[in-house]
């Protein structure tokens, strides 16, 4: 099964590139987000390939004035991993590991042209491997990179040029995670799932800060790390801390964060980063937990659909609304130095029990 990718020296096994490991949940995905310095525009993109179910899908979603407009697209992959187009949504790798472009051809009133220019060499996060009993639930690798963002977004005839100072984040992940239709026969005996996930790609004037934690219901982290990455740093130059932790304050009666502080011990110093969420972006807008457009869902040979919703009109505690990104004002605090204010993304998903926050 030869494809375009076979003409590049990227093989990892004796098989053609189109053939990957046998788990039907194997995936390969791009993610991007970006925002104006004042948060007046916030958008995100997801683009995924699922070789063992022969599907590719892509999503573009933008928040303006409290309304989230989304464009969803799905097609048959046809085993061609080098075709980075799904319907109107296209990705171009202009400089590998440095600069990429996302294009959305005008469709149902939505279009965009956005370039992401990395601030430093991408970081590689610790491998995410998690099992339920003997069953692999997640086994994936992810690279992450903050970026300077330029271009424009158009919705219903109103074109917004991203102002100077617009920033964002991109990631690439691949491996195994749940996708598409749920298993016909779930793991036995049945259990109530729990997820506690925080991710904070943050932008300051000359550096980026990344923190993530994936934790069990007891509060024990099974994957966590903080990274401080100076602009233009090369591979291996970022500072890592495996002992960072977050204190989160919830909005009363909700599974959404009102604020947070990330505590980051570094060699010979300690940094606290405070996070003040200023607006919500619902990840269902790019397929995460979407009831009909979840990643890898079978839709047909080529299906494109627009969706719009008012954020204030959503039930914030409905399951599909719990995976959220917030545009945030952030402050770097370090003893003996003046505070530094930046902007960034505060992503969280809190499903099921989590003892440290008294969630059941």
- Please compute the mean of the pLDDT values over residues 97-104 and round it to a whole number: 97
| Residue 8 reports pLDDT greater than 90 | no
* Per-residue model confidence (pLDDT) at position 5: 86
Per-residue confidence band for 188, with pLDDT thresholds at 50, 70 and 90: confident
* Per-residue model confidence (pLDDT) at position 6: 87
State the CB neighbour count (10 A cutoff) for residue 272: 15
Candidates 284, 287, 258; CA nearest to 89 is 287
| Residue 7 reports pLDDT greater than 90 | no
Per-residue confidence band for 321, with pLDDT thresholds at 50, 70 and 90: very high
* Per-residue model confidence (pLDDT) at position 42: 98
pLDDT in tens, 245-273: 999 999 999 999 999 999 999 999 999 99
* Per-residue model confidence (pLDDT) at position 232: 97
- The residue written with tokens 């009363």 in the block is 252
pLDDT in tens, 58-70: 999 999 999 999 9
**Mean pLDDT, the chain, integer:** 95
pLDDT in tens, 42-51: 999 999 999 9
* Per-residue model confidence (pLDDT) at position 264: 98
* Per-residue model confidence (pLDDT) at position 352: 95
* Pairing assessment for the beta strands 302-310 and 323-334 based on DSSP bridges: unpaired
Candidates 64, 66, 67, 60; CA nearest to 44 is 60
- Please compute the mean of the pLDDT values over residues 33-50 and round it to a whole number: 98
Per-residue confidence band for 10, with pLDDT thresholds at 50, 70 and 90: confident
pLDDT in tens, 194-219: 999 999 999 999 999 999 999 999 99
Q: Is the peptide bond before 172 cis (omega within 30 degrees of 0)?
A: no
| Residue 183 reports pLDDT greater than 90 | no
What are the structure tokens assigned to 280, written together?
């919500």
- Please compute the mean of the pLDDT values over residues 112-136 and round it to a whole number: 94
What are the structure tokens assigned to 28, written together?
């390969």
What are the structure tokens assigned to 49, written together?
């390939």
pLDDT in tens, 323-335: 999 999 999 999 9
Candidates 168, 144, 157, 145; CA nearest to 36 is 168
Long-range Cβ pairs for the range 250-259 (8 Å, 24+): 250/357, 254/316, 254/317, 255/316, 255/317, 255/322, 255/350, 255/351, 255/359, 256/280, 256/316, 256/322, 256/324, 256/348, 257/326, 257/346, 257/348
| Residue 13 reports pLDDT greater than 90 | no
Per-residue confidence band for 164, with pLDDT thresholds at 50, 70 and 90: very high
Angle at 226 between CA 223 and CA 227, to 5 degrees: 130
Per-residue confidence band for 190, with pLDDT thresholds at 50, 70 and 90: confident
């Amino acid at each position: 099964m030869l494809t375009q990718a076979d003409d590049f020296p990227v093989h990892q096994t004796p098989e053609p590139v189109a053939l990957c490991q046998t788990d039907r949940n194997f995936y390969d995905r791009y993610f991007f987000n970006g925002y104006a310095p004042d948060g007046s525009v916030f958008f995100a993109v997801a683009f995924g390939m699922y070789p063992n179910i022969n599907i590719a899908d892509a999503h573009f979603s933008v928040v303006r004035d409290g309304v989230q407009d989304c464009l969803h697209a799905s097609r048959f992959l046809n085993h061609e991993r080098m075709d980075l187009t799904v319907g109107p949504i296209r990705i171009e790798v202009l400089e590998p590991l440095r600069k990429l472009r996302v294009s959305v051809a005008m469709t149902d009133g939505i279009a965009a042209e956005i370039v992401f220019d990395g601030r430093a060499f991408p970081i590689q996060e610790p491998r995410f491997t998690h099992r339920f009993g003997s069953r692999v639930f997640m086994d994936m690798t992810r690279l992450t990179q903050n970026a300077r963002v330029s271009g424009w977004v158009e919705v219903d005839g109103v074109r917004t040029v991203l102002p100077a100072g617009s920033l964002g984040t991109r990631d690439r992940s691949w491996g195994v995670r749940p996708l598409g239709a749920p298993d016909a026969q779930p793991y036995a005996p049945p259990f109530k799932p729990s997820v506690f996930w925080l991710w904070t790609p943050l932008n300051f004037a000359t550096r980026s800060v990344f923190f993530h934690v994936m934790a069990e219901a007891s509060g024990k982290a099974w994957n966590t790390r903080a990274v401080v990455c100076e602009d233009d740093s090369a591979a291996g130059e970022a500072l890592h801390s495996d002992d960072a932790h977050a204190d989160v304050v919830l909005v009363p009666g909700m599974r959404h964060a009102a604020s947070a502080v990330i505590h980051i011990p570094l060699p010979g110093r300690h940094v606290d980063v405070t996070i003040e969420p200023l607006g919500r972006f619902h990840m269902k807008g790019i397929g995460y937990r979407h009831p009909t457009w979840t990643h890898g869902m079978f839709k047909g040979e080529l299906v494109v659909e627009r969706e719009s919703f008012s954020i204030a009109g959503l039930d914030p505690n409905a399951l599909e609304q719990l995976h959220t990104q917030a545009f945030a004002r952030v402050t770097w605090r370090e003893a003996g130095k003046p505070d530094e204010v930046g902007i960034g993304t505060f992503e969280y998903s809190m499903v099921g029990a989590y003892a440290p926050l008294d969630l059941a």
